[in-house]
Structure 1
């Protein structure tokens, strides 16, 4: 089941990558019609229209980051609960408790104590609980938060040299990585700090393509790393795996 779930994630990523490429190609086609007064229709395409499309592509790219990351972690959570809790590593038990205890709303008080009491009973029963949602780090998804969650679960992220360099190089504005840059731009657009016309005005479509070429291979290798993690049952105590 674990292998099938991760294959579905990777297939979904490939589909979203192809979708992004199609939308980028359409944006290039429209860019070629900027200020073309001989266009067959009566609509004059201006630079600001292309800038709006570029912001849309930024939002699209971040949506891929969020979708693949959440689907990957959902597959991990579903695979873990197939095994009995007493076999889980301490790191995994901690993540399950994090998911079950903290809703993001409760203060540390009676509600949390009651929830701890309930989940302790679940663990003590020795039965497998329902699939749980692994919590992300506060804020947006970027290379640092993705790496942090993997470390919390004990999953070793393996990157090829080119992909690792592309993801972690600080070559964007204010010495940010590609994913940090994308998350910041996406948030500025989505939260109204900038308009769609201004959100990517200083980027070319080639810049956007290069940004995607740093991010999508990174997401793919993260998902493959989790696939290896699940196949190797790294989330279980080593003594139980070798018994």
Structure 2
């Protein structure tokens, strides 16, 4: 779509951090969460802060946005929220002269029997970013690049656009998709708890959904209600049945 935008995750993260610091936010890096400061019991539990490897932080509201590790944080409050990460690989080339406007998605399964589809696009710097959807899901938190990704990807891309054979690959990476059983994010306040809010299970779309999730959680915490319509927000409820058979309700 001509109205689609592009943004660098690295630059965007730095920008968000800088703007938050201007508003008084403090960031603490290289310390792991070891527990929650709580009062009460399961079913009527109040979360009052966070324990880490470097100390304790008390707060009127604690927001779990722990991505692939969200389930572990939930368990600290006695919650069972099924977030199971799986890994996907991607890569980026050195810049070339811009020639590709749309994101290209080839929905055909690959002849090698391992790819359900593949897609690529050119960013504003002229770099080609590429990825494929594996037929076999790689569950777990392994983020090491595999030896098979690039040969498979190169074969599919060059067969579709032969001029790609001269591209220089700049880097590859493997990231985690925090998946829910129904393919829908988990956003809101779990029943039976006070002071704890969830923004988890983005299913690989967290970078796009993050700003909207943040705005709605901020409104929920400060005003008691989200910005979007309540019936839409309820689709993301932590209390829903994750195994009802309905998948990707928001799509």
> Normalized against structure 1, the TM-score is what?
0.23
Larger RCO (CA within 8 A; separation ≥ 6): 1
Higher strand share: 2
TM-score (norm 2): 0.23
- Higher Cα Rg: structure 1 or 2? 1
